[in-house]
Amino acid sequence: MAEFTLRIEGMHCGSCIRRVTQALTSTEGLKVEEVRLGAARLSAAAEASAANLAIAALQKAGYSASLEK
């Protein structure tokens, strides 16, 4: 499994962490390793497509995200 980190804009509190965690755990193919203010560490079988799925799920939840380099 490939591990990757997303930078997430707009997170300010524990409620944001919960919403981000829910959005990511409901996305098939992702395993949430850690969610903290401003970032999430995930793992998946295929990093490139999984990162795009995760970013789309976060956008739907109201957060902008990008893959950390």
pLDDT for residue 30: 94
pTM recorded for the entire structure: 0.91
Count of CB atoms situated within 10 Å of the CB of 8: 25
Q: Name all domains of the chain by residue range, CATH numbers in brackets.
A: 2-67 (3.30.70.100)
How many beta carbons lie within 10 A of that of residue 65, not counting itself?
Answer: 25
Categorize the per-residue pLDDT at 12 as very low, low, confident or very high, splitting at 50, 70 and 90: very high
Question: In the predicted model, is pLDDT for residue 68 greater than 80?
Answer: yes
- Contact (CB, 8 A) for 7 and 55: no
Q: Could you read off the pLDDT of 13-64 as tens digits, one per residue? A: 999 999 999 999 999 999 999 999 999 999 998 766 899 999 999 999 999 9
